[in-house]
C-alpha cells in the first residue's frame, strides 16, 4: 500500500517510540511515558502493542501475531492483516520462524531464542493501580522502591481465598528493582519471562512503554510460606496430548461436555503434525 508510510506510522513517531523503547531497555521494568498516537482501532484492542511493533518492524522481518495463544482469532487476524497491508512484511504462524511476535495475554510454549522480539499488548501497565489510585503517588512509590502495598494485595488473596488467587497479571520484580505488571498473561507464563528474546510492552491508552532485555532476572512476588506456583488446568490436551502446555477449557455442549486444548495453537498443531 503506497498511501501509507511503511508500517502505518510516520518516521518521526517511530523515532519517538524507539527512543522510549531504548530507554525502557536501559531501565528494565520502568514505565516510560510516550506520546501514544490514535490508531485505526479502538483502545483495548492493542493500540500500544501495534505502535511498538510498527516501530521495531523492518521490511525483512517475519511477523507472528497471537491472541490468547491463538493465531486465528479476530484480534490476531486483523492486526496481522494490518501489517501485511501497511508494511508488506512476511507473516507466519510458526513461533520459530517469526522475528517479531506481537501477543495478547500469552507467551508461546516454544522457548524464544536470541534475535527474536516479543511485543505485549498491555491494558494497564501500573501494577499498583488498584491499590493506590493516584498516579503521582504510584510513581513516587516506584521511585522510592516503596512496594509494601504489593504484598498487601497478595495477603488479601490468601486471607480471603486461602491461597494466592491472582491467576493473571501476576506482579513480578525485575532485577531486584522495579515491580512490573507482566500484562495479563496467566501466571503459568511468569517463569518464561526470564528469556533470551527481547520483550517489549506497549500500553496505548495509558501511554506507557516498558521492556525487558534478554536474560533479565524476573521474580514473581510471593510469601515465604506461600511460594509462587504457576498453575494450569490439571488435564492433558485433548488434541495433542501435551501435559505441560497451558490449556483452554472449551464447553462443547449444554450437557456438561467440555474439553481442554492447548491455548497455543501453533504448538498444538505442530505436535499433532509430528505425531502423524
Residues 128-147 that bind other proteins (CB under 8 A): 131, 144-146
Backbone angles phi, psi at 140, to 5 degrees: -65, -40
Count interface residues toward other proteins (CB under 8 A).
18
Nearer to other proteins, 133 or 256 (CB): 133
Q: Which of 24, 29, 49, 69 is catalytic?
A: 29
Q: What are the residues whose beta carbons fall under 8 Å from the beta carbon of 212, sequence distance 6 or more?
A: 28, 29, 174, 193, 198, 199, 218
Nearer to other proteins, 152 or 250 (CB): 152
Q: Which residue has the cell 449444554?
A: 254
Catalytic residue flag (residue 162)? no
Q: Is 224 in the site for other proteins (CB under 8 A)?
A: yes
Nearer to other proteins, 226 or 260 (CB): 226
Distances (CA, A) of 56 to 13, 35, 48, 193: 12, 16, 13, 20
Q: Whole-angstrom Cα distance, residue 132 to residue 110?
A: 36
Q: Whole-angstrom Cα distance, residue 197 to residue 213?
A: 7
Q: Is 162 in the site for other proteins (CB under 8 A)?
A: no
Q: Is 175 in the site for other proteins (CB under 8 A)?
A: no
Catalytic residue flag (residue 48)? no
Q: Whole-angstrom Cα distance, residue 138 to residue 171?
A: 15
CB of 150 to other proteins, least distance (A): 8
CB of 222 to other proteins, least distance (A): 8
Query: Which residue from 141, 154, 145, 138 is spatially nearest to 187, judged by alpha carbons?
Result: 154
Nearer to other proteins, 41 or 149 (CB): 149
CB 240 within 8 A of CB 268: yes
Q: Is 160 in the site for other proteins (CB under 8 A)?
A: yes
Give the catalytic positions in this structure.
Answer: 29, 237, 240, 262, 268
Residues near other proteins (CB under 8 A): 131, 144-146, 148-149, 151-152, 155-156, 158-160, 222-226
Amino acid at each position: 500500500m503506497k498511501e501509507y508510510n511503511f508500517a502505518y506510522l510516520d518516521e518521526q513517531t517511530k523515532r519517538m517510540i524507539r527512543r522510549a523503547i531504548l530507554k525502557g531497555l536501559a531501565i528494565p521494568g520502568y514505565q516510560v511515558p510516550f506520546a501514544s498516537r490514535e490508531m485505526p482501532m479502538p483502545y483495548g484492542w492493542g493500540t500500544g502493542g501495534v505502535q511498538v511493533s510498527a516501530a521495531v518492524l523492518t521490511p525483512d522481518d517475519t511477523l507472528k501475531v497471537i491472541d490468547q495463544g491463538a493465531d486465528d482469532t479476530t484480534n490476531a487476524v486483523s492486526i496481522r492483516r494490518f501489517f501485511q497491508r501497511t508494511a508488506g512484511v512476511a507473516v507466519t504462524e510458526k513461533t520459530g520462524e517469526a522475528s517479531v511476535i506481537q501477543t495478547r495475554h500469552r507467551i508461546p510454549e516454544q522457548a524464544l531464542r536470541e534475535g527474536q522480539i516479543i511485543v505485549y499488548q498491555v491494558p494497564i501497565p501500573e501494577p499498583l493501580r488498584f491499590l493506590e489510585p493516584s498516579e503521582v503517588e504510584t510513581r513516587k512509590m516506584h521511585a522510592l522502591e516503596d512496594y509494601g502495598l504489593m504484598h498487601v494485595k497478595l495477603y488479601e488473596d490468601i486471607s480471603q481465598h486461602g491461597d494466592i488467587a491472582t491467576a493473571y497479571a501476576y506482579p513480578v520484580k525485575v532485577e531486584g528493582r522495579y515491580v512490573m505488571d507482566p500484562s495479563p498473561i496467566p501466571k503459568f507464563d511468569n517463569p518464561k519471562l526470564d528469556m533470551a528474546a527481547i520483550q517489549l510492552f506497549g500500553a496505548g491508552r495509558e501511554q506507557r512503554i516498558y521492556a525487558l532485555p534478554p536474560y533479565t532476572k524476573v521474580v514473581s512476588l510471593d510469601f515465604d510460606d506461600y511460594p509462587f506456583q504457576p498453575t494450569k488446568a490439571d488435564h492433558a490436551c485433548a488434541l495433542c496430548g501435551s501435559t505441560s502446555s497451558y490449556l483452554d477449557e472449551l464447553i462443547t455442549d449444554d450437557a456438561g461436555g467440555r474439553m481442554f486444548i492447548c491455548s497455543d495453537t501453533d504448538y498444538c498443531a505442530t505436535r499433532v503434525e509430528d505425531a502423524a
